[in-house]
Every structure is written in structure tokens, then in C-alpha cells.
Amino acid sequence: MDRIRICGGVPINGEIPISGAKNAALPLMTAALLSAETLTLSNLPHLADITTLANLLVQHGVEIRMNGAAAGDGHIGRVLELSAGTITSTRAPYDLVRKMRASILVLGPLLAREGRAEVSLPGGCAIGTRPVDLHLKGLTLLGAEIDLREGYVHAAAPNGLVGAEIVFPMVSVGATENLLMAATLAKGTTRLVNAAREPEVTDLALCLTSMGARIEGMGSDTLIIHGVERLHGAAHSVIPDRIETGTYAMAAAITGGEVELLGAKAEHLRSVIEILGRAGVSVTETNRGLHVKRADGRLHGVDVMTEPFPGFPTDLQAQTMSLMAAAEGAAMITESIFENRFMHVPELCRMGADINVHGASAMVRGQPSLTGAEVMATDLRASVSLVIAALAAQGETVVNRVYHLDRGYERLEDKLAACGARIERIK
Ligand code: EPZ
């Protein structure tokens, strides 16, 4: 199993190309199931999760062709052409779904297009139980009959889905995406109230619109979808990854470096830019992306609470904790989205951080310095928070279980090494 070795203490300086967003790319790929014509997606990141979903789609009968190259080599990321001319199977099997929870996003499109789907329940994961009840309740309101048997969701709508009003009791990115896709082919109008407003949801809505869907309220918490008979082919470019952007901004900040994040969009990161500003990090827009520089002196502790967009993203909580672990003063970090997303805390403490968890909050008392250690992590963002801490720590850190990083960060070690980090992958 690969590991990553980092010798800390070197400022991260230079330019980092930001890849296409993983969490936008995954739902966009499943949208290909909605049409018999070809959906061409560009600026896709080269990541393990993209391959996992491609394998699932192929198994449903989608033909996939790939060209282009990885981002950062002067190209704009990979291009995938996805053609779901005939759906050959409506079953998403356990062995593929268990590898990645986002596989549940095939449910809405398969049901809308084929009138049936059998999708394995994804099960819990390292950051919480993560049920899919909101996806299932919403589809039931659109007229689907849903039955849970032998670990699978069996969904049927032999006469097609019918538009309805769905009021989400809490904000869910995945449930919003699944229902948005399903509603595009339902008869009549659907209103999704208290819908997620994440940029990835808006990117999906834009792509669906290019495919012929009729959607109002994009970017707001109420989406109105007027169902159409069929969707057609389209070409769509995936938005830049705001979580990758925030991660590298924090890597520069913790090491006292200065970076330009190429292709990054400030409008996707307002809450993060605000917190970084209060911590002593300036983030300004350039004509190529975002420029990040830490002010002279140490970072300041700032309280942070994760919230649905436009609030502070849970996917940057772990990285922020590393930053605060090396800041001056204390910071209270509260996780309001997932119930178990502090698995990085014991590992950060092994690197010299002073963090106490009380329920959904963590009190971080910043230390003058962190120290390298052998560490391992349980999920993608926890792993990268250890990389960030290691970049600033004295001595050597070895991060185990690198496969977590490969799920969501394209060429992480190359991008950081190009900015001066002493980082290498050990095979
Ligand atoms: C998406 O997950 C992202 N994944 C996650 O990114 C991200 O952390 C999360 O949104 C929140 O922003 C993808 O986009 C592929 P949710 P998703 O439904 O859609 C509860 C990363 O590191 N809930 O918005 O699964 C749920 O348990 C990842 O890249 C229900 O109770 O998240 C959670 O507490 C990890 N019932 C909260 O809602 C449901 O039916 C928000 O989850 C659905 C969700």
C-alpha cells in the first residue's frame, strides 16, 4: 500500500492548477443515464472515485470514451463521452456501490428513464451513518414504489414519475441531486423546497438545462422543475474543485507561503475566504484564479462552524483544524453536518496538536509548532488534514492509507512538490 513521506517546514510557494470538482463530476456522470444521446463532460479530474463510478455506469450499459489529459499539463482535464443509448441493467450491485456512496445517485436517473431500479444500500461510512431516507422519501412522493429487501432499494414507477412538492426537513446535497435528476423526466412540475445550494448542485442543474431540462431557481433553496418527455445530448465543463482550492490555500497559509490557485473561483468560497481573512491570510482574486498569502507573523485562532452552502463546508473542516492547531490562541470548531467527522483529531494530537472534543465541537489550542509522526487516516479530508499539518511540522511525517487521498486529490504530491514541498510517495 502506498504511503506519503513529508519533511515539513518549507513554505509552499508557486502556482497550483485546480482540477475539476470531484463532487460535481460524480452526479454529472450519472446524469448521462437520463438520455439516450451522448453527454460530453470536460475538465473531469483523474481520480479513483471517477473510475469507480465509470465502472458502475458501464455495468448499466453506458458506453464511455475518454480523451484529453490530466489537469495541469497545459490541458483542461479529461473529457469523457458517456452514451446511454440502451440501459442494459437497472441493478447497481453491492460490490460497486460499497466502494463509493455517491453510487446512490444512479437511483433517480434509472427510475426516471427506465421506470425501475435496484440499487444496493450504501451502508455507513467513516464520517457517520449517512442514511439515504431523504432520497427514498422524495422518490416516493414522485410516485415511486420503494421496497427495501436483502440490502437493496427496489424502486418501481411503471407508469413514470409524477411531479410533486418535496420539502426537505434538512439540507442534503445528494438527495437534492437525485430528485432534481428524477424530476426532469417526471410528468408535470416538481418543487424542491429547502434544496441544497452547493455550487455542485447548480453545476448539475446547468448541465441538465443544456440537456433540455426546464429548471427554475438555480442557486436558490427552491428548485422548480417542469418535467419534459426526453433529454438530449449536451457538452458541459465541470466547475473547479472548491475543496481542493481551500485545501491548497490552507497548505500555503500554514507554511507561511504564497500561492496562486489557477482556475479557482472566489464565489464558491466566500465563507472560507472570510475565515481565512480573520485568521490572517489574504485571499484575493486574480485574472487567473486566487492569490493566497499569509500576513507576517503567526495565524490567529478563529471559531468555525460547518454549515450547508453558502456556509463553511464540512469538507474543509479537518484541514481548518490543522491550521488552527498551529495558530496563536484558541479556536472552537463545530461540525454540524456529520456526527462523526473528528477522526483526524487523535492523529493530529500525535503530531503535537492540543485538541479536545466535546460532542459536535472541538476546542483547538494552537501550538507554537507541530512535530512529524507516522499517521493514518480514515477518510479523504482527514488524510489531507494530516498532510497539511505535516507540511508545517518539524521533522518527518509518513501518512499511511494514501488510497483515501487518491479518491479526491489529483496528483497531490506533484502539485505540492512543484511549490517546494518536500513530499514523496513511497510505493
Ligand atoms: C455530499 O455528500 C458530498 N459528496 C460530501 O463530500 C459532503 O461532505 C456532503 O455532501 C456535505 O456537503 C458528494 O457530493 C459525492 P448530504 P452527501 O446528503 O450528498 C444527512 C467528500 O469528502 N442525510 O448533504 O452524501 C447525512 O447523514 C465528501 O468529498 C440524511 O439524514 O451529503 C448528513 O448528516 C464526503 N438522510 C447530512 O444529511 C439522507 O437521506 C448531509 O448529507 C441524506 C443525508
Best residue among 105, 130, 409 to mutate for probing ligand 1's pocket (most ligand atoms within 8 Å of CB) is: 130
Beta strands at 281-285 and 258-262: parallel, antiparallel or unpaired: unpaired
Q: Calculate the alpha carbon distances from 227 to 176, 185, 231, 234, 385 in Å.
A: 16, 5, 10, 18, 42
What is the structure's pLDDT at 68? Answer: 57
Q: Which residues, including other chains, have CB under 8 Å from residue 173's CB and lie 6 or more apart?
A: 23, 196, 198, 200, 201, 308
Interval between CA 197 and ligand 1 midpoint (Å): 13
Q: What percent of the chain has pLDDT over 90?
A: 90
- Residue 207: active-site member: no
**DSSP SS3 for 9:** coil
Pocket of ligand 1 from Cβ distances under 6 Å: 23, 26, 101-102, 128, 130-135, 170, 172-175, 200, 314-315, 337-338, 380-381, 408
Cα 311 to averaged position of ligand 1 atoms, centre (Å)? 14
Task: Render pLDDT for 110-155 as a digit per residue (tens, 0 to 9).
Answer: 999 999 999 999 866 777 778 899 999 999 999 999 999 999 999 9
> Would you tell me how many other CB atoms lie within 10 Å of the CB of residue 301?
23
pTM, entire model = 0.97
| Cα–Cα nearest to 143, from 160, 118, 119 | 160
d(CA 309, CA 221): 10
Q: Which residue has the higher pLDDT, 296 or 386?
A: 386
Q: What pLDDT score was predicted for residue 67?
A: 73
Dump pLDDT digits (tens) for 365-383. 999 999 999 999 889 999 9
User: 67-112: per-residue pLDDT in tens?
Assistant: 755 444 444 468 999 999 999 999 999 999 998 999 999 999 999 9
pLDDT in tens, 298-332: 899 999 999 999 999 999 999 999 999 999 999 99
Q: What are 354's three cell numbers?
A: 492540543
3-class state of residue 69 by DSSP: coil
pLDDT given at position 124: 65
Taking the CA of residue 133 as reference, the ligand 1 atom at the shortest distance is: 40
- Residues 243 and 18: their CA atoms lie apart, in Å, by 10
Q: Give the position, in ligand 1's atom list, of the atom nearest the Cα of 196.
A: 24
Nearest CA, atom 4, ligand 1: 23
Q: What is the pLDDT of residues 150-180, one digit of tens each?
A: 999 999 999 999 999 999 999 999 999 999 9
Tell me the CB-side half-sphere exposure of residue 268, using CA atoms within 13 A: 22
| 172 Cα: distance to centroid of ligand 1 (angstroms) | 6
Residue 23 alpha carbon, nearest atom of ligand 1: 14
Question: pLDDT category, 29, cuts 50, 70, 90?
Answer: very high
In sequence order, which ranges of 223-313 are alpha helices (DSSP H)? 242-255, 270-279
Across the range 45-50, mean pLDDT stands at: 92
The grid coordinates of residue 139 equal: 422518490
